[in-house]
């Protein structure tokens, strides 16, 4: 049986920090936009659920690796990193 190019949970977890930091190195953005960028860059092979990225962002923030700030964008507050 041939395996398709399936990305495992372990690989997704291990790659989340470098991917997030690489995207943020390009400029400030918010959580959902990071999810969209990862999907775009991986050509749809890597799809994060919204709930999976925020704990990682929180850990990175606690370690002072990123600094969040609230911005009201289009009358909607968003946390930018």
CATH of residue 33? 1.10.10.10
How many whole angstroms separate alpha carbon 3 and alpha carbon 65? Answer: 36
List pLDDT tens digits, range 34-60. Answer: 999 999 988 988 888 888 899 999 999
How many whole angstroms separate alpha carbon 19 and alpha carbon 15? Answer: 6
List pLDDT tens digits, range 6-24. Answer: 666 666 667 899 999 999 9
In a domain, residue 1? The reply is: no
In 3D space, the residue among 76, 77, 58 whose CA is nearest the CA of residue 68 turns out to be: 58
Look at residue 42 in the predicted model and tell me its pLDDT: 87
- Identify the domain containing residue 41 by its residue range: 9-80
As given in the structure block, the two tokens for residue 78 are 């968003």
């Amino acid at each position: 049986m041939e395996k398709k190019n399936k990305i495992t949970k372990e690989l997704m977890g291990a790659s989340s920090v470098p991917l997030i930091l690489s995207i943020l190195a390009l400029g400030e953005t918010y959580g959902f936009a990071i999810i969209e960028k990862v999907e775009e860059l991986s050509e749809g092979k890597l799809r994060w659920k919204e709930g999976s990225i925020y704990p990682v962002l929180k850990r990175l923030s606690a370690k002072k690796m990123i600094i969040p700030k609230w911005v009201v964008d289009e009358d909607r507050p968003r946390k930018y990193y």
